[in-house]
């Protein structure tokens, strides 16, 4: 019997995708392996040990930095995604209006300026506010992160919106749905994959930021990346691998749990 | 929070310097502050210490200049201390009147960057020399030629630290000049030499310990403590002191002029001049500390290490790294851009 | 103000507020700085000067006193643009089939595949970059395997070359390509493809004429998200380029750091900004124009 004709098949695509997954995970596997290294090196295997987990467990600085990273990334990606969705609604699927190009440029501006430049400028600007108000909390970092996360959240949402069918929303409006109701029940569900993609990008981008954080942070506000940057000159021990692996394990557990829960609910 | 802090410092003032409660914010190079020593300080004085990291003197300088940072202590390198002082960033806390000052090695008291020690206290000091894998190259290693005119065996296996002042200094001395020279003829030769040598280098990066140990590179301009750690992992790695001149650096703790926990900061400066505590720093960061009597508390490996104890006959070639005048710095910048492009 | 304008303003307000405070506002500072004189120890002195802008493209040799092109800057600009374009291209070549693969999985498992893409990026960028370094260094995993298999006799020098930068940056920015493409492909109606095959289209024709035009907004978004940050990349070139192949981000960082020339750093960044804007304008116009033609 002949194989059924698969509509979605494109020659070679699956192979590339599988190769892509393998390559994405190769470095991760490596860093997980070295988190169990008995030696002090992240590239020379000297036997199995849990010493770096023990040392990370005792290292308050690294733990505080890790938690701080996650808190900032969560806050910043939530804010950035909300702002980006609203902005995307205003700039997509409308008749061209004056200023649209300018808004588009503004939204994408954080992408176009190298981090160090924004970092130095923010250092000067925020320091003035810090001196004037006396407030030196985490919100400066969250705000700074939210700003450079906006374009990353905006792009997928916009891409999703661009091809979306207007007719459903018009039908909703014809049936006297208020704009808010139409958005909640019709636009939002269709938009969801774009929003999710945007939020995930924003989260990751915030989690990785070094340079802006380094310049904006006040006393006691190291994140995991700035903590690592401080070590680059000296030496990087598998302690970082250990904490990354632990973080990875926790997030995979959470994701799996979430996956199964949402599955059984369906 | 603010109220408790002011109350605490008010109490501290009343009680004098002997006891101080509250907090202390240290701004230091990453992975450079012994957690063990911090715990001891916290227990002894009932002070809550927070350590925040930076990765370069320039970052620290920019940050302190901008203000609003909330730090009490900073640890700049000697050649940056005069800049920090000139910019009004350091407090004249007179460590030379503190109880433990008598422990400081006299060699480090009248330093050019802080004569008589009115602002700063030694944290760690070291040298910038060359690390060589002696299994790859068994010739003389007490020369900068291994970097600038490398023997065949080393070509393509050399790393250079991306530190402008250290590299320029080593190259200038190699060609017969003095650090911070403004002599254009010498500087032209330095530029030509660096540009000529660059194709022989594999990289210009920081992570030397790993790569020396696992033999990705066979030679590097390096810090002595880093070289020692590479040797502990790989016996073939040796540290050479260029006879034409090698630089000596010292990082120094100082109180920031707008510090909020001044009394605690003073206690801390005094605390690190105690030999036992200074030794804790050295055992963690792996460099010498400038406090007499700390050797007996140090790890065996450190006390004996040829990297930490400069051989008598080569010691004279060492020069204390200083801050070059701006007009000279500009020329160095031009050469450095040309080199790293 | 009519109702549309008002609601539009309200929708834009949060994003514009955040961006003004934490992105565009500070850019004004940078603009002003580019016209000042460098301070002796970093920072700026408030004396008007156009020297920094001049030095972006030209400089006077300290020895011969001759005026010449600042070829160091030009070399770095050229390397950055070239590598960013190549990275965007490579990300597209890998990312498009991957996004397609995910979008054609059964609906239930798509989210899982997307998460599988994202999980590697939850680990820190620096530590990932070091892991890549371990893979491609001379004594590293890949070379060891290649030698063991007898494919090569001596290690292939991959680390500290432009190749390693390309690989490293593609690795770092790949999800920025995959996600937008996936987001616009996910709702793709494969009945259209069926219709195409009914009309005797080849697989390539289906891909090019039916699928690609419909997911183009995603491709455009993805390539912008990869190309632009690449131009200012800092960490990857520093670690994988070994400091000998610096890119614009590193050059600018040098000016704000060791070289203590903030105005030049500011001028270099604004030059980069102009390059990016021009590139984007050309790109969006070209892409948008075609979109209009397709209707």
Q: What is the pLDDT of residues C237-286, one digit of tens each?
A: 888 888 888 899 899 989 988 899 999 999 998 998 888 888 878 877 77
State how beta strands B110-111 and B114-115 pair: antiparallel
In DSSP notation, B265-311 reads: HHHHHHHHTSHHHHHHHHHHH-SB-SBTT-GGGS-HHHHH-TTTS--
Q: Write a three-state SS string for chain B.
A: CHHHHHHHHHHHHHHCCCCCCEEEEEEEECCCCCHHHHHHHHHHHCEEEEEEEECCHHHHHHHHHHCCCCCCEECCEHHHHHHHHHCCCECCCCHHHCHHHHHECHHHCEECCEECCCCEEEEEEEEEEEEEECCCCCCCCCCCHHHHCCCHHHCCCEECCCCHHHHHHHHHHHCCCCCCCCCHHHHHHHHHHHHHHHHHEEECCCCHHHHHHCCCCCEEEEEHHHHHHHHHHCCCEEEECCCCCEEEEEEEEEEECCCCCHHHHHHHHHHHCCHHHHHHHHHHHCCECCECCCHHHCCHHHHHCCCCCCCHHHHCCEEECCCCCHHHHHHHHHHHHHHHC
Q: Is B41 on the interface with C (CB under 8 A)?
A: no
At the top level of CATH, the class of C72-294 is mainly alpha
Chains in touch with B (≥3 Cβ pairs < 8 A)? A, C
Taking CB atoms and an 8 Å limit, are C63 and B187 in contact across chains?
Answer: yes
Nearest to C62 among B203, B331, B341 (CB): B331
Closest approach of C229 to chain A, Cα-based (Å): 6
Q: What pLDDT, on a 0 to 100 scale, did the predictor assign at position B138?
A: 93
**In whole angstroms, what separates CA A101 from the centre of its chain?**
26
Distance of CA B238 to the CA centre of its chain: 20
Mutation target vs A (from B68, B208, B225; most A CBs, 10 A cutoff): B68
Q: Is B186 on the interface with C (CB under 8 A)?
A: no
> Chains near C, with 3+ CB pairs < 8 A?
A, B
Residue A3, φ and ψ in degrees, nearest 5 = -65, 140
Structure tokens at C235: 């960490």
- For residue A110, list chain C residues with Cβ-Cβ distance below 8 A: 19, 23
Domains and CATH numbers, chain A: 64-254 (1.10.3720.10)
Rounded CA gap, B311 and B301, in Å?
16
**Cβ of B66: how many Cβ atoms within 10 Å?**
20
* Contact present, C220 and C284 (Cβ < 8 Å): yes
The C-alpha R_g of chain C, in whole angstroms, comes to: 23
Q: Which residue of A lies nearest to C267 if distances are taken between CA atoms?
A: A117
Structure tokens at C73: 């800057």
* Chain A interface mutation, best of C8, C122, C214, highest count of A Cβ atoms under 10 Å: C122
pLDDT along chain A (266 residues), means of 10: 64 90 90 88 82 88 90 95 93 76 83 81 89 89 94 87 77 79 83 86 87 90 86 76 84 74 58
Residues of chain A found within 8 Å of residue B50, distances taken between Cβ atoms: 219-220
Cross-chain Cβ contact C139/B216 below 8 Å: yes
What does the pLDDT average to over B275-279?
A: 96
Given this model, what pLDDT does residue B224 score?
Answer: 95
- Candidates C244, C246, C255, C265: best to mutate against B (most CBs of B within 10 A) is C244
CA distance B18 to chain C (A): 38
Q: What is the pLDDT of residue A263?
A: 62
H-assigned helices in C34-161: 51-57, 71-103, 107-118, 125-136, 141-148
Asked whether the beta carbons of C276 and C231 are under 8 A apart, the reply is yes
Please name the residue of chain A whose CA is at the shortest distance from the CA of residue B57.
A230
Chain C hits for A129, Cβ within 8 Å? none
Read off the pLDDT of each residue in B158-183 and give the average, rounded to a whole number: 94
Query: For residue C233, what are the contacts with CB-CB under 8 A and spacing of at least 6?
Result: C84, C169, C172, C247, C249
Closest residue in A to B26 (Cα–Cα): A219
CB A114 within 8 A of CB C269: yes
Q: What is the reported pLDDT for C294?
A: 41
Whether C97 sits inside 8 A of A120 (CB atoms) is: no
Contacts of B68 in chain A (CB under 8 A): 126-131, 136, 218
**Cβ of B63 under 8 Å from any chain A Cβ?**
yes
Q: Which of B189, C172, B153, B51 has its CA nearest to residue A207? A: C172
Asked whether the beta carbons of residue A201 and residue C179 sit closer than 8 angstroms, the reply is yes
Length of chain C: 295
β-bridge partners, B159: B203, B220
- Per-residue model confidence as pLDDT tens digits over C134-170: 888 887 888 888 988 888 888 888 888 889 999 999 9
Q: What domains lie within chain B, and their CATH numbers?
A: 2-124+250-303 (3.40.190.10), 126-248+312-340 (3.40.190.10)
What is the pLDDT averaged over residues C62-73? 85
Nearest beta carbon to residue A124 from set B51, B54, B66: B66
pLDDT at A259: 67
Given this model, what pLDDT does residue C292 score?
Answer: 42
Mean per-residue pLDDT, B285-289:
93
DSSP state of C243: T
C-alpha to C-alpha distance for C182 and A194, rounded to whole angstroms: 9
Q: Which two tokens stand for residue A41?
A: 């090196």
CB contact under 8 A, B69 and A43: no
Cα separation, B78 vs B248, whole angstroms: 9
Which chain A residue is nearest to residue C30, measuring alpha carbons?
Answer: A121
Q: Is A219 close to B27, i.e. CB distance below 8 A?
A: yes
What pLDDT does A111 receive?
81
For tokens 């994959």, name the residue.
A193
For chains A and B, count residue pairs whose Cβ atoms are closer than 8 Å.
101
* Cα pseudo-dihedral B162, B165, B166, B172, rounded to 10: 120
Residue among B295, B292, B272, B273 nearest B283 (CA)? B295
User: Is B180:B324 a contact under the CB 8 Å cutoff?
Assistant: yes
Cβ-based contacts of B166 with chain C (< 8 Å): none
Work out the percent of chain C whose per-residue pLDDT is above 70.
Answer: 97
Q: How far is C280 from chain B (nearest CA, A)?
A: 26
- Name which of B164, B188, B214 is nearest C139 (Cβ-Cβ): B214
Q: Token pair for residue C277?
A: 């804007």
Q: What is the mean pLDDT of chain B?
A: 90
Q: How many CB atoms lie within 10 A of CB B231?
A: 21
Query: What whole-number distance in Å separates Cα of residue B96 and Cα of residue B104?
Result: 9
Among A154, A190, A164, A189, which residue's Cα sits nearest to residue A77?
Answer: A154
> CB distance C63–B184 less than 8 Å?
yes
What is the reported pLDDT for C35? Answer: 96
Residue C291 has pLDDT above 60, yes or no: no
Higher pLDDT, B215 or B123: B123
pLDDT digits (tens, 9 = 90+) for C207-246: 888 888 888 888 988 998 899 889 888 888 888 888 888 8
pLDDT score for C288: 61
pLDDT at residue B18 is higher than 50: no
Residue A143 CB partners (closer than 8 Å, separation 6+): C18, C21, C22
Determine, for residues A108 and C280 on separate chains, whether the beta-carbon distance falls below 8 Å.
yes
Residues on chain B touching A62 (C-beta within 8 angstroms): none
* Closest Cα in chain B, distance from residue C6 (Å): 38
- A44, A218, A221 ranked by CB distance to B213: nearest: A44
CA-CA distance, B265 to B259, in Å (whole number)?
A: 8
What are the C-alpha distances in Å from C78 to residues B284, B300, C71?
44, 52, 10
Query: What sign does the dihedral C124-C125-C130-C136 (CA atoms) show?
Result: positive
- Touching subunits of A (3+ CB pairs, under 8 Å) are B, C
């Amino acid at each position: 019997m002949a194989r059924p004709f698969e509509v979605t098949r494109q020659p070679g695509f699956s192979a590339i995708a599988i190769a892509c997954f393998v390559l994405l995970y190769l470095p991760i596997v490596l860093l997980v392996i070295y988190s169990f290294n008995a030696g002090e090196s992240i590239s020379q295997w000297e036997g199995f040990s849990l010493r770096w987990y023990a040392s990370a467990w005792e290292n308050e600085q690294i733990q505080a930095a890790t938690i701080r990273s996650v808190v900032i990334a969560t806050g910043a990606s939530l804010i950035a995604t909300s702002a980006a969705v609203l902005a995307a609604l205003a700039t997509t699927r409308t008749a061209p209006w004056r200023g649209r190009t300018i808004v588009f440029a503004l939204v994408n501006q954080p992408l176009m300026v190298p981090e160090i430049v924004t970092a130095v400028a923010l250092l000067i600007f925020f320091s003035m506010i810090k001196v004037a108000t006396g407030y030196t909390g985490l919100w400066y970092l969250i705000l700074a992160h939210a700003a450079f996360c906006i374009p990353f959240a905006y792009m997928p949402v916009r891409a999703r919106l661009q091809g979306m069918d207007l007719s459903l929303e018009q039908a909703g409006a014809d049936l006297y749905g208020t704009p808010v109701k139409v958005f909640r029940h019709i636009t939002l569900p269709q938009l969801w994959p774009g929003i999710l993609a945007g939020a995930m990008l924003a989260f990751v981008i915030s989690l990785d930021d070094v340079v802006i954080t380094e310049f904006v942070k006040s006393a006691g506000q190291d994140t995991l990346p700035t903590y690592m940057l401080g070590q680059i000159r000296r030496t990087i021990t598998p302690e970082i691998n250990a904490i990354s692996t632990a973080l990875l394990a926790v997030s995979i557990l959470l994701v799996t749990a979430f996956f199964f829960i949402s599955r059984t609910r369906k | 929070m603010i109220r408790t802090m002011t109350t605490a410092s008010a109490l501290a003032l009343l009680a004098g310097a002997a006891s101080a409660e509250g907090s202390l914010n240290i701004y230091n190079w990453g992975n450079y502050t012994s957690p063990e020593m911090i715990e001891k300080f916290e227990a002894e004085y009932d002070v809550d210490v927070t350590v925040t990291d930076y990765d370069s003197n320039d970052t620290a300088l920019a940050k302190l200049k901008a203000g609003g940072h909330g730090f009490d202590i900073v640890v700049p390198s000697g050649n940056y201390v005069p800049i920090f002082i000139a910019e009004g960033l350091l407090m004249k806390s007179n460590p030379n009147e503190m109880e433990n000052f008598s422990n400081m090695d006299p060699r480090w008291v009248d330093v050019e960057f802080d004569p008589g020690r009115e602002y700063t206290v030694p944290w760690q000091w070291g040298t910038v020399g060359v690390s060589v894998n002696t299994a790859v190259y068994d010739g003389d290693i007490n020369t900068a030629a291994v970097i600038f005119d490398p023997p065949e065996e080393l070509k393509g296996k050399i790393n250079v630290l991306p530190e402008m002042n250290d590299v320029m200094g080593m190259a200038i001395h190699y060609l017969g000049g003095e650090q911070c020279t403004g002599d254009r003829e010498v500087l032209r030769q330095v530029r030509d030499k660096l540009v000529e040598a660059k194709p022989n280098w594999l990289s210009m990066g920081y992570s030397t310990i790993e790569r020396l140990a696992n033999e990705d590179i066979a030679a590097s301009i390096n810090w002595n403590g880093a070289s020692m750690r590479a040797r502990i992992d790989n016996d073939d790695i040796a540290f050479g002191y260029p006879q034409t001149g090698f630089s000596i650096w010292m990082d120094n703790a100082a109180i920031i002029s707008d510090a909020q926990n001044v009394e605690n900061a003073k206690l801390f400066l005094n605390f690190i001049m105690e030999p036992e505590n200074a030794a804790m720093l050295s055992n963690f960061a792996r460099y010498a500390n400038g406090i007499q009597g700390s050797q007996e508390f140090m790890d065996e490996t450190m006390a004996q290490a040829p990297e930490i104890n400069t051989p008598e006959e080569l010691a004279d070639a060492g020069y204390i790294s200083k801050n070059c005048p701006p007009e000279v710095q500009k020329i160095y910048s031009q050469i450095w851009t040309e080199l790293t492009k | 103000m009519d109702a549309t304008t008002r609601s539009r303003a309200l929708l834009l307000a949060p994003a514009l507020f955040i961006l003004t405070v934490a992105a565009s506002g500070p850019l004004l500072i940078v603009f002003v700085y580019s016209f000042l004189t460098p301070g002796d120890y970093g920072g700026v002195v408030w004396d008007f000067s156009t020297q920094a802008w001049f030095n972006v493209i030209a400089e006077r040799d300290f020895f011969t006193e001759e005026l010449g092109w600042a070829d160091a800057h030009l070399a770095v600009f050229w390397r950055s643009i070239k590598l960013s374009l190549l990275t965007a291209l490579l990300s597209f070549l890998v990312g498009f089939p991957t996004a397609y693969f995910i979008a054609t999985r059964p609906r239930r498992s798509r989210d899982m595949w997307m998460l599988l893409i994202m999980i590697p990026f939850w680990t820190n960028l620096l530590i990932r970059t070091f892991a890549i370094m371990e893979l491609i260094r001379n004594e590293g995993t890949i070379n060891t395997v290649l030698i063991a298999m007898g494919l090569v006799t001596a290690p292939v020098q991959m680390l500290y070359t432009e190749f390693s930068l390309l690989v490293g940056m593609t690795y770092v920015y790949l999800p920025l390509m995959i996600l937008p493409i996936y987001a616009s492909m996910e709702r793709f109606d494969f009945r259209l493809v069926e219709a195409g095959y009914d009309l005797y289209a080849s697989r390539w024709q289906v891909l090019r004429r039916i699928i690609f035009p419909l997911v183009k907004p995603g491709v455009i978004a993805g390539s912008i998200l990869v190309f632009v940050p690449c131009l200012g990349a800092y960490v990857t070139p520093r670690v994988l380029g070994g400091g000998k192949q610096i890119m614009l981000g590193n050059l600018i960082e040098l000016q704000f750091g060791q070289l203590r020339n903030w105005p030049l750093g500011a001028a270099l960044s604004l030059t980069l900004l102009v390059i990016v804007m021009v590139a984007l304008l050309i790109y969006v116009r070209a892409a948008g124009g075609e979109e209009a033609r397709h209707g």
